[in-house]
Amino acid sequence: VPVYLDHNATTPLHPQVLEAMMPLLSGPPANGSSVHRYGRAARGALDRAREQVAALIGAEPGEIIFTSGGTESNNLALLGQTAGQTPGRLALSRIEHESVLQPSLWLAEHGWTIDLIDVDSHGRVTTEHLRAALHADTRLTAVMLANNQTGVLQDVAALAELNAERGVPLHCDAAQAAGKIPVDFRALGVQTMTLSAHKLYGPQGVGALVVDKRVELAPLLRGGGQERGLRSGTHNLAGIVGFGAAAQLAADELARREHHLRRLRDALEQRLSELPSVVVFGQAAARLPNTVQFAVRGFAGETLLMQLDREGFAVSSGSACHSGVNEPSHVLAAMGVPTELALGAVRVSLGIDNTDNEVQSFADALRKVIGRIPAAVALLADA
Ligand SMILES: Cc1ncc(COP(=O)(O)O)c(C=O)c1O
């Protein structure tokens, strides 16, 4: 079996999460909207999961809106807060995930003006960058907490303070941060925050939007009125219970996980530093403990990915592959990384089950792959 080093894409389901979900998958039917005892049991399970998720990020249970995942949460935050308003300006960082960028582009087609917030060469949004993107009629801003490609963290609390002075709400996509580093909804001072269960050893297809009580939000889905009318539809109860269990485990094990991941990450970067042709992106910035995005000068990322796959390592790149044409990552482009180098991006995202041995053998395999293919050929192979 290949060594899985792609945990920012998705994490395996934790055995204890599966255990928590099993009674809901194989047990009696349970709809939280029903009056009978099965319904009551479902409501109890929902309440508990809501408390567990809220506790992970220091929010009130009443501030958690369960959704189908990070993508829906980001859409709800952006489209739900702008709905019904006369179009104004929306500011978002250049390095946001597609699930923030795409709904913003849709808003742009419907009269909104989008101001893209720059980042510095390390991938950080400074308060100066944010200030430059804010205008008198800016209605909403979005800055993610941790970038999925580079792992670079933003000083969201400082940005939220600047927003607060102007009374502009800040949406924060914390899908990659939650479960890897401490995240405190209150301390960050943001108005809405996105979470996704499958980034923290929970199931796919479930997430949450954390919504400050003062935020006015219109639903994307209307119907039975679940989730305070903000997200109608019968709950994905097993998924939500799994999310709750995963959040509880993440909270309980956070310090241990963070320490383990950072140790492995540092060992990997030590080995990478011995390869003169390797460049690590965002290395000078505060980053997630599990993520290393790098490029090997002269090598196309896709070539490295395929070769590493052959050697038994599952990693990802940073560039999106659209209809066979490689495009450099918009995140690296925003950081001013030259296109040739950005096309060489490889992302390693470690998980709690990875070992020292796996990291060392990955570094050995990379060295072998680089030594085997002359760089010019590696580039050609990808053309
Ligand atoms: C930063 C970020 N936001 C949002 C998402 C989307 O989450 P989901 O896969 O739950 O829709 C992802 C996952 O790819 C992500 O990395």
**pTM for the full model?**
0.96
Pocket test for ligand 1, best of 13, 102, 148 (most atoms within 8 A of CB): 148
Given a cut of 50, whether residue 175 has pLDDT beyond it is yes
Q: What is the dihedral of CA 269, 124, 188, 55, to 10 degrees?
A: -30
Protein residue whose Cα sits closest to atom 7 of ligand 1? 70
How large a percentage of the chain has pLDDT more than 70?
A: 95
How would residue 246 be classed by pLDDT, with cut points 50, 70 and 90? very high
Given a cut of 90, whether residue 324 has pLDDT beyond it is no
- Residue 57 C-alpha to ligand 1 middle, in angstroms? 17
Ligand 1: atom nearest CA of 206 is 10
- Identify the active-site residue in 83, 157, 284, 321: 321
Given a cut of 70, whether residue 325 has pLDDT beyond it is no
Pocket around ligand 1 at a 6 A CB cut-off: 69-71, 74, 97, 99, 144, 148, 173, 175-176, 196, 198, 207
**Centroid of chain to Cα 176:** 3
**Centroid of chain to Cα 60:** 22
- Residue 182 C-alpha to ligand 1 middle, in angstroms? 18
Ligand 1: atom nearest CA of 69 is 10
Ligand 1: atom nearest CA of 72 is 11
Given a cut of 60, whether residue 379 has pLDDT beyond it is no
Protein residue whose Cα sits closest to atom 16 of ligand 1? 148
- Residue 276 C-alpha to ligand 1 middle, in angstroms? 33
Pocket test for ligand 1, best of 53, 74, 101, 199 (most atoms within 8 A of CB): 199
DSSP collapsed to 3 states, the chain = CCEECECCCCCCCCHHHHHHHHHHHHCCCCCCCCCCHHHHHHHHHHHHHHHHHHHHCCCCHHHEEEECCHHHHHHHHHHHHHCCCCCCEEEEECCCCHHHHHHHHHHHHCCCEEEEECCCCCCCCCHHHHHHHCCCCEEEEECCCECCCCCEECCHHHHHHHHHHHCCCEEEECCCCECCECCCHHHHCCCEEEEEHHHCCCCCCCEEEEECCCCCCCCCCCCCCCHHHCCCCCCCHHHHHHHHHHHHHHHHHHHHHHHHHHHHHHHHHHHHHCCCCEEECCCCCCECCCEEEEEECCCCHHHHHHHHHHCCEECEECCCEECCEECCCHHHHHCCCCHHHHCCEEEEECCCCCCHHHHHHHHHHHHHHHHHCCHHHHHHHHC
Would residue 321 show up in a list of annotated catalytic residues for this protein? Answer: yes
Instruction: Supply the pLDDT for residue 383.
Output: 45
Given a cut of 60, whether residue 381 has pLDDT beyond it is no
Pocket test for ligand 1, best of 53, 71, 156, 192 (most atoms within 8 A of CB): 71
The region of weakest confidence among 131-140, 175-184, 372-381 is 372-381
- Residue 2 C-alpha to ligand 1 middle, in angstroms? 24
Given a cut of 80, whether residue 13 has pLDDT beyond it is yes
Q: Which amino acid is at 30?
A: A
Given a cut of 80, whether residue 55 has pLDDT beyond it is yes
Protein residue whose Cα sits closest to atom 8 of ligand 1? 70
Q: What is the pLDDT of residues 104-120, one digit of tens each?
A: 999 999 999 999 999 99
Protein residue whose Cα sits closest to atom 5 of ligand 1? 70
Instruction: Supply the pLDDT for residue 95.
Output: 98
Given a cut of 60, whether residue 170 has pLDDT beyond it is yes
C-beta contacts of 319-323 below 8 A and 24+ residues apart: 319/343, 319/345
Inter-CA distances, 327 with 323, 333, 344, 378, Å:
10, 10, 11, 17
Ligand 1: atom nearest CA of 96 is 1
More confident residue, 145 or 33: 145
d(CA 236, CA 42): 11
- Residue 96 C-alpha to ligand 1 middle, in angstroms? 10
- Residue 281 C-alpha to ligand 1 middle, in angstroms? 20
The rounded mean pLDDT for the chain is 95
